[in-house]
Structure 1
Amino acid sequence: MRKILAILVDRANYGRMKPVLTSLQADSDIELEVLCTGTMLLPRFGQVVDIVESDGFRVSSKVYMEIEGSNPTTMSKSIGLGIVQLSTEFERIDPDFILLIGDRYEALAAAISAAYMNLPLAHIQGGEVSGSIDESCRHAITKFSHLHFPSTERAAEYIIRMGESADSVFNVGCPAGDYILSLPNDLKNKDLEGGVGKPIDLGKPYLLVIFHPVTTHVDTRHEVEEILAALNEIGMQTIWLWPNVDAGSDRISSAIRSFRENNDAKWLYLIKNFPPEVFQKVLKNASCAIGNSSSFIRDSTFSGTPVVLVGDRQVGRERGDNLIEAEFDRKNIYEVAMKQIRHGRYEGCQIYGSGNASEQITEILKSYTANIQKTISYVGK
């Protein structure tokens, strides 16, 4: 029996990892351990660890590593604290494989710790291109990893071009697609409880907004104000999820609160977090999604939800025809959003897979033998 330790660091992280955890837990040849860290443990981000446990997964370990401040210095210090704390848990659990997903700095701490402890590391969603520090973080995790599960053909090619052995790269698609494609649209009022503002009327169209900080451009208050002004002009009821913990998140939150206090924004409904399935239903049913979340690029390709991408946090990431970019200008955001609303739902595509990633990941993890001593694979001129 192989012991697989899955690391969960934030709400989006869990949403994409959940179908993999379900597959691993159901396999009699695998002993699944789950470690929660990062904002998974913090009440102001919805304490997602409680959702993980209510979904039937036993959380073996909780590692507190986030240093308050939401600035570049606290992000950097959190990585250092994470390495110290995670190393202790890795030694205690002694897994056969550690499983990570994405590009978070908390995941980078886990990758560094695992690599220096000679623990085999498997990485989901490597090789992708995006803005901010996230891309550098993702590629660093790739170089520490021994087994790669990219979500697209291009990402798989990029991993190999980074010198990783082609024998260690398996293009399985994005695990989130495993349940998005089969998820019903039966969104209910109780699914949206727990937020602040006028409750959403599901009998009417609504918008979904997520806007995260850009760590290479921390002061995004003006950008948030432009988005809010455009939404106010549209006047459609809007669900806005709070930003992640990255440097600059406090300024985004402050701008939103200030707008609510100084405007009669009855259309605005703020909420910390949704369970994975509820979030995907909210995204699938939205008339349009606006912001800079990778979920709007990746997950929306399966459902065809119209998306307005604002800013350069996701610059270069592969996207479907359902996405249009907008400038940080209230007039442009308004015009692009109205165009997307009028267009309606697009046809889904399979750029991020066909919906069977978790099964493939499970089978490969059961049998793959990692070579701890890594070296650059020759890829020619």
Structure 2
Amino acid sequence: MQRPLVTFVLGTRPEAIKLSPLIIAFKASEKVQTRVILTGQHIEMVTQVTNIFNIKEDFNLNLMQHGQSLTFITNSILNGLDAEFSKNKPQFILVQGDTTTAFAGALAAFYKNIPIGHVEAGLRTGSLDNPFPEEANRRLISQISTLHFAPTKNAYLNLINSGINKENIQITGNTVVDALKIIAEKDLKNKCNEIYSGGDYLILLTVHRRENWGENLKNIIIAIKKIVQFHTNISIVLPMHKNKIVRDILKNELGENPKVILTETLPYDQLISVMKKSYFIITDSGGIQEEAPTLAKPVLVIRETTERTESIEAKTSKLIGTNPDNIFKEVSELILNKTKYQKMAKAINPYGDGNSSKRILSHCLNFLKI
């Protein structure tokens, strides 16, 4: 009897991080065949991650173009996966999160009548266009998925409230904790020193999301300049996203500031090393909101909304928006108020125990009746 084929579709760095431990678990199983398809939505940023986890793709759509639009990405993935699924039709596909790759991958499978598993299902902000287009993507994926792997109880309840049959939802924890456990077993001692080995308090800052382009980014930069001018014992490491809309203004405004260390996008293991050395983190990243509690690092979220409500409720992170005065106030409080800092650092991680991949594999095998 031929083993059923399970295909993973991924295209961005966050997907690669969160699907890598799951791909490893599936490849270790003798009950299924596994195929890994990259869309090319991101290129270097994805292969940095897959190389760390020793994962080789079976096929790459290589769709990435300079200045690519959401329409171009979606159309290219649909066309590419139509041909892929015709040639190598899986019995099940897995997508992760809320990217355009995840949405188009799920839609391509739906058109071929292929069952879909949605990893990290059920995240919601309640605002359809914030973040854009991610909130719409994840809602749309939920409507056509077969199995929904919710990372938390809140995500489970969001799916129930969306009309999803509870029999098709499993609470699994978040696979990002699995990824962190794998990386934590590696020797990371010198990874941060390649970026920063000074004596100041170190803050990691990441900013890249579409809703923070333009005026919001300018406001964040105003706050950063004020922070490093006022708090002379602080240095900031800022890995720059590949998107020129973000990196050009960061270089122009912060490139000559001795207290701000601009770097290229960091390989995942090096990013984790910097996170471990950081005093706390300022970010608009969803993944870092999940990773930081595992490392006992407080997070200030420079967004107006977040779908990671569990970390807000657990007080491991705080939503502070992009007003420069408010960013300065919140950062200063964490630097100066040790009691507040310790409460955030010692809060319990709400995102799982590192066994999410095993649970998802088990549920998929049950669905496939093997």
Q: Which TM-score bucket, shorter chain as reference?
A: 0.7 to 0.9
Matches within 5 A, 1:64-213: 64-69=62-67, 74-130=69-125, 131-133=130-132, 134-180=134-180, 183=184, 187-190=188-191, 193=194, 199-201=195-197, 205-213=201-209
Seen in structure 2, the aligned counterparts of structure 1 residues 31 and 278 have a Cα distance that, compared at 3 Å, is farther
Asked if the contact 1:19/1:179 (under 8 Å) is kept, the reply is yes
Asked if the contact 1:185/1:284 (under 8 Å) is kept, the reply is no
Matches within 5 A, 1:338-377: 338-341=332-335, 342=338, 343-344=341-342, 346-369=345-368
- TM-score by structure 1 length? 0.83
> Which residue matches 2:33?
31
SS at match of 1:137: helix
> Which amino acid in 2 is paired with 1:69?
G
SS at match of 1:123: strand
Aligned residues, how many? 352
Asked if the contact 1:65/1:79 (under 8 Å) is kept, the reply is no
> Which amino acid in 1 is paired with 2:366?
S
Cα deviation for residue 317 of structure 1 reads 3.2
Q: 204-213 or 150-159: which moved more? A: 204-213
Query: In 1, Cα distance between the equivalents of 2:115 and 2:167?
Result: 15
| Structure 1 unaligned spans of 5+ | 194-198, 371-381
Superposed CA deviations along residues 291-333 of structure 1, whole A, max 9, x for unmatched, are: 2111232222323211111122526733131212324243432
Superposed CA deviations along residues 191-240 of structure 1, whole A, max 9, x for unmatched, are: 665xxxxx310765321111123349765342342243244334523221
Superposed CA deviations along residues 224-266 of structure 1, whole A, max 9, x for unmatched, are: 422432443345232212236xxxx4332121010244x3335
Once superposed, what is the RMSD of the aligned Cα atoms? 2.6
| Structure 2 unaligned spans of 5+ | none
Asked if the contact 1:185/1:285 (under 8 Å) is kept, the reply is no
> Which amino acid in 2 is paired with 1:166?
K
> Which residue matches 1:307?
299
> Which residue matches 2:266?
273
Cα deviation for residue 185 of structure 1 reads 9.1
Query: In 1, Cα distance between the equivalents of 2:61 and 2:154?
Result: 34
> Which amino acid in 1 is paired with 2:283?
G
Cα deviation for residue 173 of structure 1 reads 0.7
Cα deviation for residue 353 of structure 1 reads 2.0
> Which amino acid in 1 is paired with 2:224?
L
Matches within 5 A, 1:239-278: 239-243=237-241, 249-261=243-255, 263-275=256-268, 277-278=269-270
Superposed CA deviations along residues 31-76 of structure 1, whole A, max 9, x for unmatched, are: 11111123442x4xx4x32541463323101012334226xxx122
Cα deviation for residue 22 of structure 1 reads 1.4
Query: In 1, Cα distance between the equivalents of 2:285 and 2:156?
Result: 22
Query: In 2, Cα distance between the equivalents of 1:115 and 1:158?
Result: 22
SS at match of 1:100: strand
Are 2:286 and 1:284 equivalent residues in the alignment?
Answer: no
SS at match of 2:138: helix
Superposed CA deviations along residues 97-154 of structure 1, whole A, max 9, x for unmatched, are: 1111100012111111110011111001111123312111111111111111010111
> Which amino acid in 1 is paired with 2:324?
R
Seen in structure 2, the aligned counterparts of structure 1 residues 294 and 227 have a Cα distance that, compared at 3 Å, is farther
Seen in structure 2, the aligned counterparts of structure 1 residues 135 and 175 have a Cα distance that, compared at 3 Å, is same
Superposed CA deviations along residues 323-369 of structure 1, whole A, max 9, x for unmatched, are: 12324243432331232244256124242222211101111111204
Aligned counterpart for 1:19 among listed residues 14, 21, 25: 21
Query: In 1, Cα distance between the equivalents of 2:32 and 2:333?
Result: 48
Asked if the contact 1:224/1:256 (under 8 Å) is kept, the reply is no
SS at match of 2:210: coil
Seen in structure 2, the aligned counterparts of structure 1 residues 100 and 326 have a Cα distance that, compared at 3 Å, is same
- TM-score by structure 2 length? 0.85
> Which residue matches 1:330?
324
Tell me which of the two structures has the higher relative contact order, counting C-alpha pairs closer than 8 angstroms and 6 or more residues apart. 1
Asked if the contact 1:67/1:78 (under 8 Å) is kept, the reply is no
Superposed CA deviations along residues 82-107 of structure 1, whole A, max 9, x for unmatched, are: 21112212222211111111000121
Seen in structure 2, the aligned counterparts of structure 1 residues 242 and 91 have a Cα distance that, compared at 3 Å, is farther
Q: 232-241 or 161-170: which moved more? A: 232-241
Q: 76-85 or 317-326: which moved more? A: 317-326
Cα deviation for residue 282 of structure 1 reads 2.7
Asked if the contact 1:303/1:347 (under 8 Å) is kept, the reply is no
> Which residue matches 1:297?
289
Query: In 2, Cα distance between the equivalents of 1:192 and 1:91?
Result: 48
